Structure 1
Amino acid sequence: MNTGLDELNPVLVHHIVNTLGWRSLRPLQAEAIRPLMAGNDAVLLAPTAGGKTEAACFPLLSAMEQHKWTGLSVIYVCPIKALLNNLLPRLESYTSWLGRRVALWHGDTTQAARQRILRDPPDILLTTPESLEAMLVSVKVEQQHLFASLRTIVVDEVHAFAGDDRGWHLLAVLERLTNVAGREIQRVGLSATVGNPHDLLRWLQGSSRGSRAAEVIAPEVVAAPAPPVATVDIEMDYVGSVFNAATVISTLHRGEKRLVFCDSRQLVEELGAALRDLNVTTFLSHASLSVDERRRAELAFAEARDCVIVSTSTLELGIDVGDLDRVIQINAPSSVASFLQRLGRTGRRPGTTRNCLFLAIQRHEVPWTAALLLLWSRGFVEPVTAPPQPRHIVAQQLLALALQENRIGSRLWAEGWNGLAPFDHSATPILKYLVENGFLDQDGELLFIGPAAEQKFGRRHFMDMTAVFTAPPQFTVLHGRREIGRTDPALLTEKVDGPRLLLLAGRSWKVGWIDWKRRRCFVEEAEHGGKARWHTPGTGAASFELTRAVREVLLGADPPVKLTRRALSALSDEREEAEAHVHPGGTLVTRSSTDVRWWTWAGYRANATLASTLSELTDEKQRVDDVSIRLRTDLTREMWRAATSDAVARLVLPDVDERALTGLKFNEALPRHLAMATLASRLADLEGAQRTLEEPIRFNVVERR
């Protein structure tokens, strides 16, 4: 029997068998050995807890011994610090078996620990893209010494990077690391199930795509074999309120460990407080809680049994919180891929099944939850695609390279990213703008950081340039010396009658003193009545596929899962209300008093594209949502035919409110028209708009005379 162990280093195999007690590797782990030890780029695919970390690390540790690598050989990148913290003890064990070392470097790492790494680099470094950027631009880091021996980059949860601007930033940083190391660097991505794994691999390869094909076997996607069809226990209920959701959770599955996912921090806080009021042992986890608060909660939850932890997506990405009995989802996550990650947290113990209970809090969420489950039942998983036109990241990278090298050549700067688009010569207009507006100064053929960059981004040694996402301003909440977390400043400024009460970490707090200058808020414990709120711009846009599935549900399609009587009743009510807005034969235009709407069921981005393209037909306020577009009140069929006859051939990008630029970091380093064009391209869904225009349309409108 082929156990997959024969190809690994013998010492490593000894510990895998005797220390871990494994008699063989999982199929994914065995299949990954050959390509990874050969130096191939690869993406390893498996569900949550599918053994991806070991599938990457065991072959790389064996290659490290076989080729006698010294110094910092492997960088292991994760999207969140908590995942790095969780991985450290495991990798410390694996590396110690071979006399190797691993170290951790992220935003919470002490200066003393960083200095130890710089003096004596480990064999493997766990870090984030933001920390890698900080190392590259820091005057305290000798980059040539630290990265001279680098051979491999492992990117954990690579799909989480590829779908947003952190992915572009990561790719650019990898290209610069390649130049510092002076060699091609093997790239290994670890991912949950995605709809387009080969595209994801090509994206991860960056400029090295195909450049090593003559030297090694072609890059590979290594996927865990599909498991045998197993029982999956999925149930959907409608509960109507946060309190009712807490009541159901407190009553069902007593004695079990339950993980509840919510898609907002406010909902996490409200549900956590409601569960505690019902005497349920409850822990919370979300990004606005302090590091210590989250760690305490996750540790206590991992060691407890009869308890609940309520979390945002922070616990979706593989952090070990022990054996779970149940996953509960409040409303529906934004994607099938996210649901698969969450479902994968259960069913890990022998004799258990994967399960998820959906609790819809509002009635209109019922068809959206059913639609997501309908897509899941068909095997649909969203493709991961990089956001288009990352011009602001290009501007950031030009400034970062100037910081890293002290000066860059006005003709040779594109070599910094090895010709990878969009960091190649196509970025010349952005470079020109940076020079003309003082972000870069020029002396002959050399460019270096200018006064505008110093003024805008130079605080704390340019640390603001290391992250490509904009964090909204928040106030740190302190109880004595203990940091509880952070809250939205709006809760500290809105008018209130009586004491100002906050809800944070599932408890109510009375605000005492506010330090406006240092953004600190000092609180005392309160019995109840606290409020939670965070401003999260740019959320809530449903995809074309999900919105079309909602239309199918409203037309009668049911997902093949258990639906409670309450869910069935709510779904029936939603279908009855939607009868005038959905039709199996195409889209609808309806009039209700002065409200004329086109029910496209195309998703927000496609609708925004259609509203901009057909601006002569839309309401002047262009009210657009996921399912409809508001049209002018004097619309006639003749006007419609004239406007739409050639619309497919002249689709345009959506209009963008200039206020949205505040969410595009580094937009100040771009010409205004390019910054607006970047936002518009990201708001557009040209394919969805075209598909909608090509469908039949029915007019349920009594035209005015």
Structure 2
Amino acid sequence: MDVFAHYAPFIQDYIYRQGWQQLRPIQVAAAEEIFGTDHNVLLSASTAAGKTEAAFFPILTELSESGAKDSVNCLYIAPLKALINDQYSRLTELTEDSDIPVWRWHGDVAATQKRKMLKHPSGVLQITPESLESFMINKHMGIPHLFHGLRFVVIDELHSFLRSDRGGQTFCLIERLSRLAGVKPRRIGLSATIGNLREAAKFLGAGSGHRTVAPKVKNTRQVWRLSMEHFYQTDPQAASKDFDPAAPIEPKTDTAPEMADPGIGYIFEHTRGKKSLVFTNSREECEAVCQMLRSYSAARHEPDRFLIHHGNLSPAFRATAEDAMKDDDSYMTTCATATLELGIDIGKLEQAFQIDAPFTVSGFLQRMGRTGRRGNPPEMHFVMREEHPESRAMLPDLIPWPLLQGIALVQLYLEERWVEPPEPNRLPYSLLYHQTMSTLASGGEMSPAELAGRVLPLNYFHNVSQNDYRVLLRHLVKTDQIQQTERGDLIVGMAGERVVNNFKFYAVFQENEEFSVHAGSEELGTIVKPPPVGDKIAIAGRVWVVEDIDRQRHQVYCHGVKGRIPAYFGDVPGDIHPKILERMRQVLAESQMYPYLMKNAQARLTQARDTANIAGLPKKQLINLGGKMWCLFPWTGSYAFLALERLLRIKCAKRLNLRGFNSARPYFMEFAMDANAEEFFQVLKEEAAKDFDPLELLYPKEVPVFDKYDEYLPDDLVRKEFAQSILDIDEMKRCVARMGDRLHEKTKK
């Protein structure tokens, strides 16, 4: 196909103005599919490969030739308002010589623009999932008129929707809107970080009525500028000639306290005169790092050159950072969380720093992809920081877990091009509640059968049984979330009105809310998103156990850890896939030195390998720490680790007399027991091999609230979702079987 000749004249003129000599491979492949078939199309190519143009050149051409003039023809869904604003500018420029309007719809768009779109629906509508949810509830009656000519739905940054209820919400909304408007739009997914194209394409197309294809294109060979350095938070460093891991660390007296962190000092020096991003893994760490970097500027009597960007900041603060990033003459550095991980055009960014390791290969690739635009190679520098271990520290505390994790993420992609796959088979009861209430709020009074007929067929709920839905509806009627009329029909109840009529209802992800932490009469500080009662938190330099949570007053009550206390997963920093832990184990076992490691990181990895080798790691997974104290290294993912932890505590504890249990998920577990290693593995293998109900791995009366709307669900469904969707029992059993196989091989020898 002569793709260029198929494009509308205004698209051809745009290409001429840009001075392009030829189309990119992804643009040719996309055009052939969009022009020549009725398929859904997944466009996966490296950052800055031209995916947006690849999708919109043919889409806009199609709309210019046969798009309905009184309907939205293309719906563009993106995870961030900032990404919509950025793409709005690009699409507006692209369509300026056509009669195809581009509209934005999110919380920061003026009401006058929204009214104008409602009066003259047409062209391309850009929207976030949350604004689309609001649209479905508040503009329900207008959906058939507004979208009767909808032909395309473009989902940008598709990877960000593959492993969360937010993605489930997005695809539920697309299905509901399509059904209401009587249309079957084609879906076009865009992403730079898809690992398994087949699984992602299946996820993209589910319930669409169209076949989904993912054209494979040969990307140009990409060179990375990648480094990974390690720093102890006080000198000496691992590569120092006088470094002695066993020696006590004397505090330095010749360095000002605010300049005493070598890792942050390294970032400070290497961002001078360069436009940079510094990624952290949490909002709290982002704030702390930015404050330290600014204190360095003050101590050096230099101008403040540091900005900050995260989800809890006001739109004005975020916009300031985004504008500075887009300014090619600016040499500011922005400290950020995942809010700048996605595809916002932030201009000629020279380099990115990552403090410690992200939790996913996808996150690493997205952050790396922020750089390397406009002809330069992607450039990222990992900075791994840890405190010197105490002189009496035990084996697990001598292993540099973030360093191993960072190496594993990089190697998995370099060696296998592996990225985390979608998670399509959960029991998403929290989202089921949300979409039930949304459907009822938008559609008004309806019979239970009609409500079930609108919600249960949504593809994302394919694992939910009719019986489970009956249990949910009865509970919602009982708790006045839903009210039953005299005719037996259902409407939103008084308690449900309070939930649905709050603007926060449009989002299925948890908002950050601070809770003050109290132990007796003492206030310890604040935390975000407290874990359930019984879980541990770290604050004020100690570990505490949550006794009670007052969600209305935003207060948490706790006491110091004593005895055996069931520990729950809580608000994990990231769901780490089993494959990453398996690769971390290989990093510890192999002898090769990776070319991107700098001298301190090389020295620290060598020390860790020597320490592990002396202890028998990683071949041995159960290490005696002295006396009856043991440490288990499962080398499996977060949710399989959690299942294994519960199997040990609930099924094996009595047989082994386990006590003093402590976990650092998903890396290791420490405990005391009366058994030896052979007896431990024998009991563990026997218990894991049994055909038990996953609910048996919950503690008595435990209701592990995990997702945003779990508090409105019946306890039985919360327990069932946790047991069957959160706990990865199948992977846990495979993990135990591998342990048993290795033990059996050792015994035979």
Shared fold (TM-score greater than 0.5)? yes
- The letter of the residue matching 1:120 is H
Q: Please give the per-residue CA displacement for 1:26-52, whole angstroms capped at 9, x wherever unaligned.
A: 110111013223432111101222211
Aligned counterpart, 2:587: 553
Quick one: distance in 1 between partners of 2:706 and 2:189? 28
Q: Please give the per-residue CA displacement for 1:660-683, whole angstroms capped at 9, x wherever unaligned.
A: 755422223321011122133343
Aligned counterpart, 1:168: 168
Pairing 1:617–2:652 present: yes
Please say if residues 329 and 356 of structure 1, whose CA atoms lie closer than 8 Å, have aligned partners that are also in contact.
yes
Please say if residues 343 and 355 of structure 1, whose CA atoms lie closer than 8 Å, have aligned partners that are also in contact.
yes
Aligned counterpart, 1:410: 448
Please say if residues 371 and 550 of structure 1, whose CA atoms lie closer than 8 Å, have aligned partners that are also in contact.
yes
Which structure 2 residues correspond to residues 160-309 of structure 1 after superposition, within 5 A?
160-208=160-208, 211-212=209-210, 218-228=211-221, 230-241=222-233, 243-252=261-270, 254-276=272-294, 277-278=296-297, 279=302, 281-303=305-327, 304-309=329-334
Aligned counterpart, 1:62: 61
Is the partner of 1:6 in helix, strand or coil?
helix
Given candidates 367, 370, 378, the residue that maps to 2:404 is 367
Quick one: distance in 2 between partners of 1:656 and 1:286? 36
Please say if residues 636 and 666 of structure 2, whose CA atoms lie closer than 8 Å, have aligned partners that are also in contact.
yes
Q: Please give the per-residue CA displacement for 1:224-254, whole angstroms capped at 9, x wherever unaligned.
A: 42322x4322211112238323322232364
Which structure 2 residues correspond to residues 571-650 of structure 1 after superposition, within 5 A?
571-579=605-613, 583=617, 585=619, 587-614=621-648, 615-618=650-653, 619=658, 623-624=662-663, 625-636=665-676, 637-638=678-679, 640-645=681-686, 647-650=688-691
Shift of 1:581: 5.4
Please say if residues 100 and 122 of structure 1, whose CA atoms lie closer than 8 Å, have aligned partners that are also in contact.
yes
Higher mean alpha-carbon deviation, 49-58 vs 364-373, is at 364-373
Pairing 1:43–2:42 present: yes
Structure 2 stretches lacking a partner, 5+ long: 234-259, 388-399, 528-551, 555-568, 744-749
Given candidates 356, 367, 375, the residue that maps to 2:380 is 356
Quick one: distance in 2 between partners of 1:420 and 1:551? 37
Shift of 1:695: 2.1
- The letter of the residue matching 1:269 is E
Aligned counterpart, 2:475: 433
Please say if residues 329 and 358 of structure 1, whose CA atoms lie closer than 8 Å, have aligned partners that are also in contact.
yes
Quick one: distance in 2 between partners of 1:662 and 1:152? 37
Aligned counterpart, 2:572: 538
Shift of 1:659: 8.1
Q: Please give the per-residue CA displacement for 1:491-517, whole angstroms capped at 9, x wherever unaligned.
A: 9x99799xx999xxxxxxxxxxxxxx9
CA distance 1:536–1:680, change in 2 (3 Å): closer
Please say if residues 276 and 334 of structure 2, whose CA atoms lie closer than 8 Å, have aligned partners that are also in contact.
yes
- The letter of the residue matching 1:30 is V
Please say if residues 243 and 271 of structure 1, whose CA atoms lie closer than 8 Å, have aligned partners that are also in contact.
no
Shift of 1:60: 0.9
Please say if residues 35 and 42 of structure 1, whose CA atoms lie closer than 8 Å, have aligned partners that are also in contact.
yes
Given candidates 453, 456, 461, the residue that maps to 1:422 is 461
Please say if residues 593 and 602 of structure 2, whose CA atoms lie closer than 8 Å, have aligned partners that are also in contact.
no
- Number of residue pairs the alignment of both structures matches: 641
- The letter of the residue matching 2:513 is P
Is the partner of 1:689 in helix, strand or coil?
helix
CA distance 1:421–1:555, change in 2 (3 Å): closer
Q: Please give the per-residue CA displacement for 1:406-442, whole angstroms capped at 9, x wherever unaligned.
A: 1223223344255535267633332333234432233
Pairing 1:695–2:730 present: no
- The letter of the residue matching 1:338 is G
Shift of 1:394: 1.0
Aligned counterpart, 2:710: 667
Is the partner of 1:438 in helix, strand or coil?
coil
Quick one: distance in 2 between partners of 1:494 and 1:281? 41
- The letter of the residue matching 1:453 is G
CA distance 1:204–1:620, change in 2 (3 Å): farther
Quick one: distance in 2 between partners of 1:367 and 1:267? 20
Quick one: distance in 2 between partners of 1:196 and 1:388? 18
CA distance 1:295–1:639, change in 2 (3 Å): closer
CA distance 1:621–1:62, change in 2 (3 Å): farther
CA distance 1:657–1:606, change in 2 (3 Å): farther
Aligned counterpart, 1:24: 22
Shift of 1:177: 0.3
Quick one: distance in 1 between partners of 2:726 and 2:14? 51
Quick one: distance in 2 between partners of 1:310 and 1:161? 24
Pairing 1:315–2:337 present: no
Is the partner of 1:411 in helix, strand or coil?
helix
- The letter of the residue matching 1:239 is F
Quick one: distance in 2 between partners of 1:4 and 1:445? 58
Please say if residues 370 and 558 of structure 1, whose CA atoms lie closer than 8 Å, have aligned partners that are also in contact.
no
Is the partner of 2:215 in helix, strand or coil?
strand
Shift of 1:81: 1.2
CA distance 1:578–1:141, change in 2 (3 Å): farther
Higher mean alpha-carbon deviation, 646-655 vs 147-156, is at 646-655
Aligned counterpart, 1:686: 729
Q: Please give the per-residue CA displacement for 1:139-191, whole angstroms capped at 9, x wherever unaligned.
A: 68622222222222111111101210101111211111011111212111111
Given candidates 334, 354, 365, the residue that maps to 1:340 is 365
Shift of 1:540: 4.2
Is the partner of 2:571 in helix, strand or coil?
coil
Aligned counterpart, 1:329: 354
Please say if residues 597 and 630 of structure 1, whose CA atoms lie closer than 8 Å, have aligned partners that are also in contact.
yes
Is the partner of 2:716 in helix, strand or coil?
helix
Which structure 2 residues correspond to residues 472-491 of structure 1 after superposition, within 5 A?
472-474=512-514
Given candidates 484, 498, 516, the residue that maps to 1:442 is 484
Is the partner of 1:553 in helix, strand or coil?
helix
**Aligned-residue identity in percent:** 26
- The letter of the residue matching 2:156 is D
Q: CA RMSD in A?
A: 3.2
CA distance 1:168–1:496, change in 2 (3 Å): closer
Please say if residues 73 and 151 of structure 1, whose CA atoms lie closer than 8 Å, have aligned partners that are also in contact.
yes
- The letter of the residue matching 1:575 is R
Quick one: distance in 2 between partners of 1:329 and 1:401? 42
Quick one: distance in 2 between partners of 1:640 and 1:111? 64
Please say if residues 651 and 686 of structure 1, whose CA atoms lie closer than 8 Å, have aligned partners that are also in contact.
no
- The letter of the residue matching 1:565 is K
Quick one: distance in 2 between partners of 1:237 and 1:494? 43
Please say if residues 607 and 629 of structure 1, whose CA atoms lie closer than 8 Å, have aligned partners that are also in contact.
no
Structure 1 stretches lacking a partner, 5+ long: 213-217, 475-487, 503-516, 520-534, 700-705
Aligned counterpart, 1:72: 72
Please say if residues 265 and 286 of structure 1, whose CA atoms lie closer than 8 Å, have aligned partners that are also in contact.
yes
- The letter of the residue matching 1:470 is Q
Please say if residues 158 and 189 of structure 1, whose CA atoms lie closer than 8 Å, have aligned partners that are also in contact.
yes
- The letter of the residue matching 1:438 is D
Quick one: distance in 1 between partners of 2:521 and 2:53? 50
Q: Please give the per-residue CA displacement for 1:361-415, whole angstroms capped at 9, x wherever unaligned.
A: 1162322222222223212222232461101111211111111111223223344
Please say if residues 435 and 441 of structure 1, whose CA atoms lie closer than 8 Å, have aligned partners that are also in contact.
yes
Structure-1-length-normalised TM-score:
0.83
- The letter of the residue matching 2:640 is A
Shift of 1:128: 0.9
Is the partner of 1:346 in helix, strand or coil?
coil
Is the partner of 2:3 in helix, strand or coil?
coil
Higher mean alpha-carbon deviation, 166-175 vs 569-578, is at 569-578
Please say if residues 36 and 60 of structure 1, whose CA atoms lie closer than 8 Å, have aligned partners that are also in contact.
yes
Aligned counterpart, 1:471: 511
CA distance 1:581–1:411, change in 2 (3 Å): farther
Quick one: distance in 2 between partners of 1:596 and 1:84? 52
Quick one: distance in 2 between partners of 1:323 and 1:452? 50
Quick one: distance in 2 between partners of 1:567 and 1:465? 46
Please say if residues 612 and 652 of structure 1, whose CA atoms lie closer than 8 Å, have aligned partners that are also in contact.
no
Given candidates 599, 604, 607, the residue that maps to 1:570 is 604
